[in-house]
Amino acid sequence: MKKESITIQMEAEKLRAVKRYMEKKDADLEQELCDSMQKLYEKYVPATVREYIDETANDESPRAVSPKKQKEKVRTAPPPDKAPSSAGL
């Protein structure tokens, strides 16, 4: 699933304090923020919507084959008129 970034603002002194004390406890600020966002998602997005999003994310087909790889596949396949025939057997 595609990810997006968000930006928040916080007073610089408070942010430095959070970073300093989280570091002392070997906590990762980014991971803690991600965990908090997940909790907000689960709290506010209805379960049926979350299920739908999960299903559509799982149903997405793998990324399309690059044009270069498509050309390689075309080159490896014999042309229809040049395909081996069973007449010579």
Given phi > 0 = left and psi -120 to 50 = alpha, else beta, which region is 26? left
pLDDT digits (tens, 9 = 90+) for 20-77: 999 999 999 999 999 999 999 999 999 999 999 999 988 875 554 455 555 555 555 5
Predicted pLDDT at 1? 87
Q: pTM score, two decimals?
A: 0.61
State how far the Cα of 34 lies from the Cα of 27, in Å rounded to an integer: 12
Q: How big is the chain, counted in residues?
A: 89
Domain ranges of the chain: 12-76
Residue 72 vs residue 9, higher pLDDT: 9
CA distance 13 to 19: 10
